[in-house]
Structure 1
Amino acid sequence: MENVNLEALFIKLQEWAVTFGIQLLSAIVILIIGIQVAKFARKIAEKALKKTQVDVTIVNFLGNVVYVIVIALVTIVVLGQIGVKTASLIAILGSAGIAVGLALQGSLSNIASGIMLVIFRPFRVGDYIEGGGTAGIVKEIQIFNTILTSPDNRRIFVPNSKFFESSITNYSAEDSRRIDLVFGIGYDDDIKQAKQLLLDILAEDSRILSDPAPTVGLLELADSSVNFAVRPWVKQADFWDVYFSLQETVKQRFDEAGINIPFPQRDIHIHQS
């Protein structure tokens, strides 16, 4: 009698293993196909949005939204394939919605922040920004994170909510940008000569814009130098090139004109008793 029961149990286990194996295999196939469908759907959505000349920031964000939605649907189908009652699962998740919301409030905040970034667009893909405790070029705004690339080519993932916890500085929002530099001369040097030389240097550089006009003014009478504020306007793309080359040119031209650039000095007097 016991042998008969064991044989029946063994047969049932075999049948269950075969059935579950087929279901599991089907679920894996569905999952693999579903991931590919999600990627394809994202590409189709992005392609369709680009034809409508929508900003690339919105294109990437909505493409990611489509991908996540398709993956969520595929997950439900996969669970149903292996025998999980999805209707009951959805009901359980619905009743536990408050608890899940509290547990995932950070993620939900990032999603909401991502939507706000896309709607109000304080920055776009390709802009150089400072915010969320870091700085870099915006590569992509995703559902949870914004991806930046730092000047030394590091990839930085910033939670979207971080941008709403601090101020955002967008250095690429305007076509032009002002360079703020200070050059000091000695008290024995000719102020008019130095100022005219600075103006000539700015006028000779074709990258410096004439509108708005550059400013050269006496900034302060410091402890050991007379300081000039030099503030030219340039295009965004020329900012750092002009920033570096202008300082080099001023040093060379001051040396040629015999104008001193003071530096901190300390006189030491030794008294012998």
Structure 2
Amino acid sequence: MDWDKLDEYAQIAIDKAVFYLPRILLALLIFWVGFKVVHKLVDLLRKALERTGFSETLRPFMASTVGVLLKGAVLFVIATVLGADLTGLFAILAAAAFAIGMALQGSLGNFASGILILTLKPFKVGDWIDVDERFGRVVEIGIFSTDVLTPGNKILIIPNSLITDSVVTNFTEKGMIRLELEVTMPYEESFPKVREILYEALGQVDHILPEPKPEVGILNFDSHNVQLIVRPYVKPDNFWEVTFKAHEAIKKAYNRNDIKVAYSEGVEIGKIGE
């Protein structure tokens, strides 16, 4: 046995232990204390977001993201204490982040838009909104998309980037919505008379708000009729119910008061080819 070699290896091991043992102990201490501090900070952040009324959907995500970043910082400090060279790792992470960003460009746009919507709160769950000619009630606001329930009981999954790039009409913000009902009257009929008939018909429809008062006016003139616009105000949840009942009440009122409308008398029937 080569005792000289053995002594040399033992001395190297002792030198390494003397060099690395304090660093390892310090790294373990940083790990233990650092993660405890991170958990405490995340709890404080979560409570602070809850007190300020921050979005319930965004609170867990924000707390989780901050927690991951702080834990990453703790691990970075530990690696530095142990003397690790992180230059290559940073280069790999930067390249990976760039590649992922390019691949998920659209999703990242939706993600950023979701953060804006949840932070700025242009609307909330339960609001009636119109986005890019899509009308419905918001049932869920997610990080990447917003679910809207249409009056036809269909769920529209709208990308958040489309919402932030479009004009959003929030009908619930003011607590009321104005209906736009178009009807006609003949040229020979008195407009003040028809206007009173329409007001009377609207008075028989439930859920029409007394204030602001409904509006009735002349919209346009066509070749056969005078086109009228009827604008009652309702709560957003009663939009379609009042629309149907108002049309029904107006038709009955026209019938009772013998108000004429023009329509085509004849129908031409032709063949349909294969």
Name the TM-score, length of structure 1 as normaliser: 0.63
Gaps of 5+ in 2: 1-41, 71-85, 269-274
- In structure 2, the CA distance between the partners of 1:59 and 1:90, relative to structure 1 (3 Å rule), is farther
Provide the secondary structure at the position in 2 that maps to 1:140. strand
Q: Distance in 1 between matches of 2:211 and 2:122?
A: 26
Q: 1:63 aligns with which of 32, 56, 60?
A: 60
Q: CA deviation at 1:64?
A: 4.3
Kindly tell me the number of residue pairs found equivalent between the two proteins: 212
Question: CA offsets per residue over residues 177-203 of structure 1, 9 Å max, x none?
Answer: 111112212234343332221122233
How far the C-alpha of 1:174 sits from its partner, in A, is 2.0
Change (3 A) 1:117 1:179: same
Q: What is the aligned partner in structure 2 of residue 54 from structure 1?
A: 53
Q: Aligned residues: percent identity? A: 31
Distance 1:224 1:138, change over 3 A: same
Aligned residue in 2 for 1:195: 195
> CA–CA distance in 1 between the matches of 2:65 and 2:109?
17
Taking a change above 3 Å as real, the CA distance of residues 173 and 184 of structure 1, as seen in their structure-2 partners, is same
- Partner residue of 1:158? 158
Distance 2:132 2:48 in 1: 29
Q: State how far apart, in whole Å, the 1-side matches of 2:239 and 2:153 are.
A: 19
Distance (whole Å) between structure 1 residues aligned to residue 132 and residue 186 of structure 2: 42
Deviation at 1:247, TM superposition (A): 0.8
Larger mean CA deviation between 214-223 and 254-263 belongs to 214-223
**8 Å CA contact retained: 1:136, 1:150:** yes
**Structure-1 residue corresponding to 2:184:** 184
State the distance in 2 between where 1:200 and 1:224 align. 25
Deviations 1:149-172 (A, max 9, x none): 333333333322222333223232
Residue 213 of structure 2: aligned partner = 213
User: Could you tell me how far apart the structure 1 residues matched to 2:62 and 2:49 are?
Assistant: 16
Could you give the per-residue CA deviations for residues 81-136 of structure 1, whole angstroms, max 9, x where no partner exists? Answer: xxxxxx88776323433233222222222221111112222221112223267443
- Secondary structure, counterpart of 1:198 in structure 2: helix
Partner Cα separation in structure 2 for residue 97 and residue 51 of structure 1: 31
Which residue of structure 1 aligns with residue 26 of structure 2?
none
Secondary structure, aligned partner of 1:107: helix
Alignment of 1:221-236 (within 5 A): 221-236=221-236
Aligned to 1:149: 149
Distance 1:66 1:51 in 2: 11
Conserved? CA contact 1:64–1:143, under 8 Å? no
C-alpha change, 1:209 and 1:187, in structure 2 (3 Å) is same
C-alpha spacing 1:181/1:112, structure 2 compared with 1 (3 Å)? same
Give, in angstroms, the shift of residue 266 of structure 1: 5.5
C-alpha change, 1:51 and 1:107, in structure 2 (3 Å) is: closer
CA RMSD of aligned residues (A): 3.6
Distance change >3 Å, CA 266–CA 152, structure 1 → 2: closer
> Residues 186, 136 of structure 1: CA spacing in aligned structure 2 closer, same or farther, 3 A cutoff?
closer
SS at match of 2:126: coil
SS at match of 2:56: helix
Question: In terms of Rg, which structure is larger?
Answer: 2
AA matched with 2:222 = A
Secondary structure of 1:59's aligned partner: coil
Query: Which deviates more from structure 2 when the two are superposed, residues 153-162 or residues 232-241?
Result: 153-162
Please tell me the residue identity of whatever aligns with 1:94: A
